[in-house]
Amino acid sequence: MAGDAAVPPPADAELVDGGDRACGELLLVLARRMRRLRRDTRVRLVATDPAAVVDVPAWCHLTGHRYLGAGRQPDGRAHYDLQSTADPRPTHPNDPWRPAQRTSSTSRNDKELT
């Protein structure tokens, strides 16, 4: 992992401790926290799930949040630094790895009837 040296979080960073959660639950925790943050807030996610090294950057790409990089905490756990965006792309509330479905006021069946 790039940046394997132990790096303390920036003083202004929100800390999200993902504990030993697997990726799905980890992204749920992260997505809920990110929804409450102001734009340009820096976030440090600490996680032990080995898949996070792939999943966190991919989730940032999906949502539009900025992925800043990864490193190690002083205790050896991996961390991932992110920055919230002003206008993130919405994801499904219970499946934050899936884009939210856009809803329209007219359903497909209604259009076929007109």
- Please say whether the beta carbons of 46 and 77 come within 8 A: yes
What number is the average pLDDT over the span 2-8?
58
Q: Kindly state the DSSP code that residue 102 receives in the 8-state scheme.
A: P
More confident residue, 112 or 11: 11
Q: How many CB atoms lie within 10 A of CB 64?
A: 13
Tell me the pLDDT tens digit for each residue of 79-110. 999 999 988 988 888 888 888 876 654 444 44
What is each CA distance from 39 to 10, 34, 51, 86, in whole angstroms? Answer: 16, 9, 26, 5
Count of the separate structural domains present in the chain: 1
Residue 71 belongs to some domain of the structure: yes
The domain that holds 33 is classified in CATH as: 3.30.110.40
Q: Kindly state the DSSP code that residue 41 receives in the 8-state scheme.
A: -
Q: Which amino acid is at 87?
A: D
Q: Give this prediction's pTM.
A: 0.77
The β-bridge partners of 47 are: 78
Residue 109 belongs to some domain of the structure: no
Residue % of the chain over a pLDDT of 70? 81
**Domain containing residue 55:** 14-102
Residue 7 belongs to some domain of the structure: no
Residue 2 belongs to some domain of the structure: no
pLDDT band at residue 23 under the 50/70/90 scheme: confident
